[in-house]
């Protein structure tokens, strides 16, 4: 599981970002600032998402030092939307710059892209008419990628691998529990609802309900 460090002085913002990234399947660590002890742990992270710390002229050199110690993608977020702040941050080594207030869907997409650039050689599996990216927990169709949580992705993969088969809620639970012990029987319905909602944006309902029997993978039909 990819590890992300989120740094923000705003406690509420910190928790909102953490909650969303955890739902996407990442292991998230939060800090209000990066102290000396935390600096020693920076090489352990796969990505750092940090507020632009305004310490006069040192705020851009902060990014450079962070990149040198971390050796991973760094995404800066800030309420400052001036072109100078964005340009100087990128030139200092930031991989991306996101303007507050944060829009969670956009932020999640930027995180996935940054991690994808870090691991360009990752394998993508084609199942039927769709592409399945295990590393990113994403499913692609016609160039559009849908970001899922770990559990949602694994549920879809089980169904897609057995396209044509009908899975009762109980059978689907048993299959998922073998690979994800966090799954509970009552959450299966929640996963399906969430997957349908996410795919609705591209006009697809990949999971069909077979009344009285269960669910089957429909893909793009």
Going from N- to C-terminal start, the domains of the chain cover 3-118, 125-217
pLDDT of residue 175: 79
pLDDT of residue 171: 87
- The mean pLDDT value for 52-65 works out to 72
Cβ-defined contacts of 37-40 (< 8 Å, 24+): 38/5, 39/69
pLDDT of residue 178: 59
Share of the chain above pLDDT 70, in %: 89
User: Beta partners for 7?
Assistant: 31, 50
Dihedral (Cα; 143, 73, 14, 25), 10-degree rounding:
50
Question: For residues 105 and 147, what is the distance between their CA atoms, to the nearest angstrom?
Answer: 9
Same fold, 3-118 and 125-217: no
Query: Which fold is adopted by the domain 3-118?
Result: Rossmann fold (3.40.50)
pLDDT at 25 over 90: no
The dotted CATH code for 125-217 is 1.10.10.10
> Which tops the pLDDT comparison, 221 or 168?
168
Question: For residues 83 and 93, what is the distance between their CA atoms, to the nearest angstrom?
Answer: 16
Give the pLDDT band of residue 33 (cuts 50, 70, 90): confident
Q: What is the DSSP track for 111-149?
A: HHHHHHHH-TT---EEETTEEEETTTTEEEETTEEEE--
pLDDT at 182 over 60: no
pLDDT of residue 23: 80
- The mean pLDDT value for 80-105 works out to 90
pLDDT at 66 over 90: no
Give the model confidence (pLDDT) of 183-213 as tens digits: 677 788 899 999 999 999 888 899 999 998 9
């Amino acid at each position: 599981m990819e590890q992300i460090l989120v740094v923000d002085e705003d406690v509420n913002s910190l928790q909102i970002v953490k909650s969303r990234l955890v739902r996407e399947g990442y292991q998230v660590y939060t800090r209000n600032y990066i102290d000396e002890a935390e600096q020693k742990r920076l090489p352990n992270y796969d990505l750092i998402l940090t507020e632009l710390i305004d310490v006069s002229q040192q705020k851009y050199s902060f990014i450079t030092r962070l990149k040198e110690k971390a050796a991973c993608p760094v995404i800066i977020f800030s309420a400052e939307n001036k072109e100078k702040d964005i340009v100087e941050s990128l030139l200092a080594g930031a991989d991306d710059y996101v303007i507050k207030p944060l829009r969670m869907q956009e932020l999640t997409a930027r995180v996935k892209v940054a991690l994808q650039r870090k691991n360009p050689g990752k394998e993508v599996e084609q199942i039927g008419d769709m592409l399945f990216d295990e590393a990113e927990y994403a499913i692609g169709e016609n160039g559009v990628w849908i970001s899922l949580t770990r559990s949602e992705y694994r549920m879809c993969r089980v169904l897609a691998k057995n396209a044509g088969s009908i899975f009762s809620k109980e059978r689907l639970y048993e299959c998922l529990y073998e690979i994800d012990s966090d799954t509970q029987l009552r959450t299966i319905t929640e996963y399906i609802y969430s997957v349908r909602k996410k795919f609705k944006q591209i006009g697809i309902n990949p999971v069909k309900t077979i009344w009285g029997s269960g669910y089957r993978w429909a893909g793009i039909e």
